[in-house]
């Protein structure tokens, strides 16, 4: 199924234009469409038809883009996927209201799920939506704290990033009549995939190839963000922590420190470990095209350089 | 059923506090709880038990308060029900994110509706939520336009105010196994009640008793808002319109003009007409305690002075 074509079929040429145009704009920006694809793969992985999964798959993509829209307002981000963000192109109030409507549109798509499956899908979706907001709040809270542990950081990225991937797979498998065990396996794969993906994100901000990364290396360091690497360096020992604080903001020095103290290597190992863990989750499933695609996806994400 | 007690039972003492405290704060502010009460009355009006309606009734109240929270951010309103608004007490980002979570909480409450009723209730709820956002957008659009007709204004307040009241009654009646005809009658009652209520709001801002109105008279006139009275005065003829524009912002003069040109009387008649129309909708229902309460409610709203 061509998920991009299905997203393009959604009609935003509706009145009042001031409400719907920004939604169409936000959704047209593209992106990897990974969440709806995972929902379809979740269905295919349990060996069943993907057709019934389409409304939920679209709901997940619309919801994801709603979170980006409101996150960009809160972060005062001016660019998203190479284009002005909605609150820049229109204004902040438009971004708030069209974002709200976008969340409602996600629930409208969800209401098209086969009726016998709807109650449980709605509950899975609500749980996921709640966890994403909780993750966003923890991210905000962590900025004000100096005692964030790596365990807390992992929980934050689990909520903020992983549960949406995991729930996409789970909902796909559930609608396609997958067993509880199959659903759980796919959910767990999604969690670990998301964690690996996020740490990889932190890693690439430090050690990505500037040619392919798409933005300047070291943005997180300049902003003083508490990434996995920063937290791991601080957890290594008070000497390392003091050293890191001393060269805070200096990209070159921090990168050298990450290399010398083994933080870089630890990140690589952690990404590899989580990727392996994700793939191991798939072992309870009968191998087919979809499970192979999920394994390839995990390998690709771990090897990506942008 | 004590709806206030049921709202107090909702537990917001959850982590992360930064996300949930503002929700508890916003919901504790009170208000008339008219929407959940209408949902319960909708059930009772069709002669059935109200117990199954509670989750949907709470969902409607939480959703309503979510719209107030985000509206206050967009309007930069500093006070709501005598207390600082969420974006003033915390900050704008908190109001956005906790507002988002509040909408999700509404859908979580909705997911507790009896499973056989859930698909249709979800669709009714989504339609209502969409229409509220559309009404809010029209309200914003109207500020930039000088050619708004009374018909357009009525459509805007139907979307922004009436559909939530109407849908509350409809959902209550549907869950309590009311017939399609009963549901429609209650829905139509709610639409007309909401229209009367909103025009009454515009009217009281001009001619309310300053002692009981709770805020200064003439706020809409000072802000140059296009209320039902303003639009009606402009529709009366070009002479009246020119006169009104001449004394724009001058509360005393505008009020005198509204009296002299018959706009005040026209507003009173329109409120009475819509109230009567609302009550007539109830005639298809068998009379009982609930239908009597709905009639009393319409009379009280039309006679209120605050």
Question: Taking CA atoms, what residue in B is nearest to A97?
Answer: B133
State the nearest Cα–Cα gap between B139 and chain A, in angstroms. 10
Say what the ipTM of the complex is: 0.96
Q: Looking at residue B302, what is its pLDDT?
A: 84
Smallest Cβ distance to B123: which of A99, A111, A123?
A111
Q: Which two tokens stand for residue B73?
A: 């951010």
- The answer to whether the CB of A142 falls within 8 A of the CB of A148 is yes
> Rounded to whole angstroms, how far apart are CA atoms B75 and B136?
11
All residues of chain A having their beta carbon less than 8 Å from the beta carbon of residue B18 are 137, 140-141
pLDDT at B256 over 80: yes
Answering whether pTM is above 0.80, one says yes
- Model confidence band, residue A212 (pLDDT cutoffs 50, 70, 90): confident
Question: Taking CA atoms, what residue in B is nearest to A115?
Answer: B119
User: Are residues B96 and A74, on separate chains, in Cβ contact within 8 Å?
Assistant: yes
Q: Looking at residue B18, what is its pLDDT?
A: 98
Q: What angle do CA A157, A163, A164 make, to 5 degrees?
A: 110
Cα Rg of chain A, angstroms:
20
User: Are residues B18 and A137, on separate chains, in Cβ contact within 8 Å?
Assistant: yes
Q: Looking at residue B50, what is its pLDDT?
A: 78
Q: Look at residues A77, A49, A57 and name the one whose alpha carbon lies nearest to residue A10.
A: A57
- The answer to whether the CB of A218 falls within 8 A of the CB of A251 is yes
Cis bond leading into B16, ω under 30°? yes
pLDDT at A214 over 70: no
Average pLDDT of the segment spanning A48-68:
94
Q: Which two tokens stand for residue B24?
A: 């508890």
Neighbours of A233 (CB within 10 A): 23
Determine what percent of chain B is predicted with pLDDT higher than 70.
99
- Model confidence band, residue B306 (pLDDT cutoffs 50, 70, 90): low
pLDDT tens-digit series, residues B87-137: 999 999 999 999 999 999 999 999 999 999 999 999 999 999 999 999 999
Residue-by-residue DSSP string for A103-159: HHHHHHHHTTS-TTTHHHHHHHHHHHHHHHHHHHHHHHHHHT-S---HHHHHHHHII
Residue-by-residue DSSP string for A160-174: IIIHHHHHHHHHHHH
User: Are residues B133 and A108, on separate chains, in Cβ contact within 8 Å?
Assistant: no
- The residues that bridge with A84 in the sheet, in sequence order, are A79
pLDDT at A274 over 80: yes
Q: Looking at residue A306, what is its pLDDT?
A: 67
- Model confidence band, residue A200 (pLDDT cutoffs 50, 70, 90): very high
All residues of chain B having their beta carbon less than 8 Å from the beta carbon of residue A111 are 119, 122-123, 126
A to B CB pairs, distance under 8 Å: 101
Q: Look at residues A106, A127, A131 and name the one whose alpha carbon lies nearest to residue A174.
A: A127
- Look up residue B217 and give its DSSP letter: T
- The answer to whether the CB of B42 falls within 8 A of the CB of B171 is yes
pLDDT at B162 over 80: yes
- In chain B the first and final C-alpha atoms are separated, in Å, by 26
Contacts by B106-110, CB closer than 8 A, 24 or more apart: B106/B59, B106/B60, B106/B62, B106/B63, B106/B66, B107/A107, B107/A122, B107/A126, B107/A129, B107/B59, B108/A126, B108/A130, B109/B55, B109/B56, B109/B58, B109/B59, B109/B62, B110/A122, B110/B55, B110/B56, B110/B59
User: Are residues B19 and A137, on separate chains, in Cβ contact within 8 Å?
Assistant: yes
Write out the residues of chain A at the interface with chain B, using a CB-CB cutoff of 8 A. 15-16, 18-19, 70, 73-74, 93, 96-97, 99-101, 103-105, 107-108, 110-111, 115, 118-119, 122-123, 126, 129-130, 133-134, 136-138, 140-141
> Rounded to whole angstroms, how far apart are CA atoms A59 and A10?
11
Sole residue written with tokens 């996300």: B19
Q: Looking at residue A70, what is its pLDDT?
A: 98
Average pLDDT of the segment spanning A133-142:
97
All residues of chain A having their beta carbon less than 8 Å from the beta carbon of residue B15 are 134
State the nearest Cα–Cα gap between A130 and chain B, in angstroms. 6
Task: Please tell me whether residue B79 adopts helix, strand or coil conformation.
Answer: strand
All residues of chain B having their beta carbon less than 8 Å from the beta carbon of residue A69 are none
> Rounded to whole angstroms, how far apart are CA atoms A257 and A206?
11
Question: Taking CA atoms, what residue in A is nearest to B118?
Answer: A119
User: Are residues A101 and B126, on separate chains, in Cβ contact within 8 Å?
Assistant: no
- Model confidence band, residue B214 (pLDDT cutoffs 50, 70, 90): low
Q: Which two tokens stand for residue B172?
A: 């209550």
- The answer to whether the CB of B143 falls within 8 A of the CB of B230 is no
pLDDT tens-digit series, residues A160-172: 999 999 999 999 9
pLDDT at A191 over 70: yes
Average pLDDT of the segment spanning A82-108:
98
Q: Tell which wins on pLDDT, A214 or B40.
A: B40
> Rounded to whole angstroms, how far apart are CA atoms A242 and B285?
76
CA separation, residue B52 to residues A118, A267, B273 (Å): 19, 52, 34
- The residues that bridge with B83 in the sheet, in sequence order, are B80
């Amino acid at each position: 199924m061509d998920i991009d074509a299905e997203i393009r079929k959604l009609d935003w040429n509706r009145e009042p234009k001031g409400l719907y145009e920004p939604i169409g704009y936000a959704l047209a920006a593209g992106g990897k469409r990974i969440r709806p694809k995972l929902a379809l793969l979740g269905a295919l992985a349990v060996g069943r038809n993907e057709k019934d999964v389409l409304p939920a798959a679209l709901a997940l993509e619309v919801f994801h883009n709603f979170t980006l829209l409101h996150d960009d307002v809160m972060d005062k981000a001016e660019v998203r996927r190479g284009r002005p963000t909605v609150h820049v192109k229109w204004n902040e109030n438009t971004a708030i209201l069209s974002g709200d409507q976008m969340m409602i549109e996600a629930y409208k798509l969800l209401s098209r799920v086969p009726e016998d499956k709807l109650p449980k899908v709605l509950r899975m979706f609500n749980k996921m939506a709640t966890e994403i907001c909780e993750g966003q709040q923890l991210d905000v809270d962590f900025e004000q704290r100096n005692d964030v542990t790596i365990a807390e950081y992992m929980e934050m990225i689990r909520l903020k990033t992983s549960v949406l991937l995991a729930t996409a797979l789970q909902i796909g498998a559930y609608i396609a009549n997958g067993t509880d065990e199959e659903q759980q396996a796919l959910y767990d794969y999604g969690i670990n995939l998301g964690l690996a993906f996020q740490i990889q994100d932190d890693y690439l901000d430090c050690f990505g190839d500037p040619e392919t990364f798409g933005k300047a290396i070291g943005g997180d360091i300049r902003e003083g963000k508490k990434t996995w690497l920063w937290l791991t360096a601080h957890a290594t020992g008070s000497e390392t922590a003091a050293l890191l604080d001393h060269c805070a903001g200096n990209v070159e020095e921090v990168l050298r420190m990450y290399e010398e103290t083994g933080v870089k290597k630890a990140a690589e190992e952690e990404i590899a470990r989580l990727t392996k863990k994700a793939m191991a989750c798939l072992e309870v499933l009968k191998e087919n095209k979809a499970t192979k695609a999920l394994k390839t996806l995990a390998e690709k994400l771990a090897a990506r350089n942008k």
